A = this chain, B = another copy of it.
């Protein structure tokens, strides 16, 4: 993603998950599924607080899909 366009529906959707502290599952290119709440996002990364309250910097290039943890 060349620029960080905060108007994009997908950026706004992640922003809502951040605001609502929604617990999410994030599938990565390595097949791993991370679970936690997203603290912030920028053009390069999402910052996740996982279930052990560890802060994980996840690179956008490694994202496959993201969904609420129901």
Known: A9-B40, A30-B64. 15 other contacts (CB 8 A): A2-B2, A5-B43, A8-B42, A9-B45, A10-B47, A13-B45, A13-B47, A14-B57, A28-B64, A29-B64, A55-B68, A56-B66, A57-B66, A59-B64, A61-B63
How many copies of this chain does one complex carry? Answer: 6
Residue pair B44, A11 in contact (C-beta under 8 Å)? yes
Number of interface residues of A (CB under 8 A): 38
Is A21 part of the binding interface, using a Cβ–Cβ cutoff of 8 Å? Answer: no
The 5 closest A-B CB pairs, nearest first, are A10-B45, A62-B64, A56-B67, A58-B65, A57-B66
- CB-based contact A65/B57 at 8 Å: yes
